[in-house]
Amino acid sequence: MTYIITEPCINVKDTACVDVCPVDCIHPRKDEEGFAEAVQLYINPDECIDCGACEPACPVAAIFPEEEVPEKWKSFIPVNYDYYKK
């Protein structure tokens, strides 16, 4: 299981989630290449430990456990996975 970042993050990229993630699996960070160009942040599904810390930290409620992603935002599940296949 993993958490997934969905549509409300687009063009927000608050990064509060990045600050609370204990395993640094949310990218790009502000200090990483590609942050300015990224439309949203993404959770690495292979590294996420499902701790849930990011979900309440997000000011726009963009983060959900994979199995609880709202139907209208299910397309963001492969969007998060695919970011780390590059």
CB of 9 or CB of 54, closer to ligand SF4: 54
Least distance (Å) between residue 41 CB and ligand SF4: 10
Least distance (Å) between residue 21 CB and ligand SF4: 3
* Sites of contact with ligand SF4 (CB under 6 A): 3, 20-21, 23, 25-26, 43, 48-54
CB of 10 or CB of 53, closer to ligand SF4: 53
Asked whether 65 and 39 are in contact (CB, 8 A), the reply is: no
Measured CA to CA, the distance from residue 38 to residue 41 in angstroms comes to: 7
